[in-house]
Amino acid sequence: MVASYDELEPWYEHLYAILHELVRTGLAQSAKGGSLRALDAGCGTGFQTAILLALRYRTCGIDLSAGMLDIAQRRHPEAHFMRGDLEALPWRDATFDVVVSCGSTLSFVARPSHAVNEIGRVLRPGGRALLEVEHRWNFDVVWRWLSSVMGDPLGYEAKAVEARAAFARPLSDGIWMDYPGYPRLRLFTRSELSRLLSAAGLSLVRTWGLHSVTNVIPSTVLHRPRLGRAIGACYRGLCALDRALAATVAGRGLANSLVILATKPER
């Protein structure tokens, strides 16, 4: 994905526009004096790293992709980047004041509970973590199922039995799902995330939902370089509504992506 990572499709343009606002506002108050440390966990080519540096954090980034890290290091020479796995972060306990993990990184980790535990471990007491993950309950699982029983006109590349599995019990647990063009990914529920945070010693502060009403348009339609005039106009209107609903019960309940702000209590 290195060559095309920075080519944001309409789906990602909307996602990152709101997500990066949340990073700035949710973590800005902690960045005073330029001596605090931040980790961009799953940094990619450095989207969130740029924001953390602008907030005057001493910033580290970690990613599995050497190609993306090479781009990130050239863009942000003042940051320190390492190649590594979120399930085994190469830092001591209580190293960072804030940790950011965006781009659905935790949804691509084989053992997300290990990664969340590691984030909690390297976070200092009183520190904050801002995490963005894929959500199980959204319109897109419905589109995926409908497409599977109609001969896949929407291009989800899922058989009916696979698509139907997204609705299997227990409803409070996350699921693994295949999506065209991506590795296998985890779709979390909010109750599952609460359990993971608690096990890692983190306390939930606030949750936002992104891509809720925008998902009345199938995501496979939005994952392309540009949209037609009619769909584009409809999508822009839905994006405005989605932004307004992000912090509401409806926005969180139907979101394709959940953004979590958590804190590590003071000892």
More confident residue, 240 or 226: 240
Task: Summarize the confidence of residues 202-214 as an average pLDDT.
Answer: 97
Task: Summarize the confidence of residues 34-50 as an average pLDDT.
Answer: 94
Distance CA 253, CA 111 (A): 24
| CA contacts within 13 A on the Cβ side of 1 | 15
Task: Summarize the confidence of residues 56-71 as an average pLDDT.
Answer: 96
- Angle, CA 77 vertex, CA 74 and CA 82 arms, to 5°: 85
Distance CA 70, CA 93 (A): 27
- pTM above threshold 0.85: yes
- Categorise residue 176: left if φ over 0, alpha if ψ from -120 to 50, beta otherwise: beta
More confident residue, 191 or 35: 191
Structural domains of the chain ordered from first start = 10-137+173-263 (3.40.50.150)
Which pLDDT score is estimated for 12? Answer: 94
* Tens digits of residue pLDDT in 4-28: 777 789 999 999 999 999 999 999 8
Which pLDDT score is estimated for 5? Answer: 74
Which pLDDT score is estimated for 26? Answer: 93
Beta bridge partners of 59: 38
